[in-house]
Amino acid sequence: MNIQSFIPPQRTLMGPGPSDVSARVLSALARPTIGHLDPLFVGMMDEVKALLQYAFQTKNEFTIALSAPGSAGMEACFVNLVSPGDSVVVCRNGVFGQRMVENVTRLGATAIVVDCEWGRAVDPQMLEQTLAHHPEAKFVAFVHAETSTGALSDAKALCEIAHKFDCLTIVDAVTSLGGVELKVDEWGIDAIYSGSQKCLSCVPGISPISFNDKAVAVIKNRTVPVQSWFLDQSLVMAYWSGEGKRSYHHTAPVNSLYALHESLVMLKNEGLENSWERHATLHAELAKGLKGLGIEFIVPENERLPQLNSVFIPEGVDDAAVRNYLLAHYNLEIGAGLGQFAGKAWRIGLMGFTARYENVALCLAALEDALKQA
């Protein structure tokens, strides 16, 4: 066995994530490792918390970076908040909504599914009707930015309806955080999770999470222990509580957290609303070009997620051949379709650091070439 160091090529990442990681964030990632209980690292984590509160637009005390990918962040929300026997309304409009259903089922709770059309935003009216028929529901869960389809739902409206029916909300913001308007406190989101590798353009592997006081109270009042030791937030709360205090839960991914800190400093320096605007502007630029190539969007214009452009593969074009050509010839990665759209769609990401004019120009030129070759 003669295995050498792995030297990756330089790619342009315009898939559904990870997005381009800047040299600045990679440098931060590679700073010298220190101990996870080192007072200086603890101080850095206090800053990460403040920066995440900014990114989420929340004052939630319980705002942390989970030491695992967004899927674990999703699971952390469900296993901490929901108890066996509870009823959870899940709005399913894509792969990640379906994943929420799995989470609910596996912990012994009941999922009441609002079955929405894939490629469309969640219909608030359908949610309202479901809640009216299910007074036993305690939670409403939905995906803000459905990465499998490119649809953006109206989180504010969905949360209002959920609260009208006294339900706590669990919101997936994996692809929305940093890219589109998201106001956790103003919209009354009770529990929210995201991922590091989408619009934050950090390296993959960390899931930012935030719970408000109502959610924390639910956790503290559990009668059944959380089924996961690793994801038990009551244990994690001890690790993250207060300034400067840290007791040992598990070893945090120190270097990845350096990178997250740096990504969040960059976001703060850019300004959250400026970031939202940049994503919208670059999306418009890409959309214009795609139209010029005769490529059509799947999602209606007012429901489109700017940072995840899902388009129909043009008639007669070989899906894999085009994507492989883009990767091999231009080092450009675009995303394949997923779930119901597997083989039918491409997903072109414009997330975080990827969202730059030069990438839009490259993508359009490369696609035009690839389609000619096809």
Among 59, 129, 164, 229, binds a copy of itself (CB under 8 A): 229
Among 238, 265, 362, 371, binds a copy of itself (CB under 8 A): 265
Name the minimum Å distance from CB 255 to a copy of itself: 4
- What are the DSSP calls for 289-333, one per residue? HHHHTT--BSS-GGGB-TTEEEEEPPTT--HHHHHHHHHHHH-EE
**DSSP-derived secondary structure letter, 352:** G
Which stretch in 71-79, 120-128, 152-160, 291-299 sits in contact with a copy of itself by CB under 8 A?
71-79
Structure tokens at 142: 């939905």
* ∠ Cα 27 31 35 (to 5°): 150
Tell whether residue 32 is a contact of a copy of itself (CB under 8 A). yes
Task: Please give the single-letter amino acid code of residue 207.
Answer: S
Among 142, 258, 276, 325, binds a copy of itself (CB under 8 A): 258
Helical pair 272-292 and 357-373, crossing angle rounded to 10 deg: 20
Tell whether residue 26 is a contact of a copy of itself (CB under 8 A). yes
What is d(CA 161, CA 168) in angstroms, rounded to the nearest whole number? 10
Q: For residue 211, list its beta bridge partners.
A: 62, 191
Tell whether residue 7 is a contact of a copy of itself (CB under 8 A). yes
Using CB atoms within 10 Å of the CB of residue 65, give its burial: 0 to 12 exposed, 13 to 18 middle, 19+ buried. buried
Name the minimum Å distance from CB 34 to a copy of itself: 5
Tell whether residue 51 is a contact of a copy of itself (CB under 8 A). yes
Residues 266-285 that bind a copy of itself (CB under 8 A): 268
Name the minimum Å distance from CB 57 to a copy of itself: 13
Name the minimum Å distance from CB 276 to a copy of itself: 19
Among 94, 179, 205, 337, binds a copy of itself (CB under 8 A): 205
Nearer to a copy of itself, 261 or 278 (CB): 261
Tell whether residue 50 is a contact of a copy of itself (CB under 8 A). yes
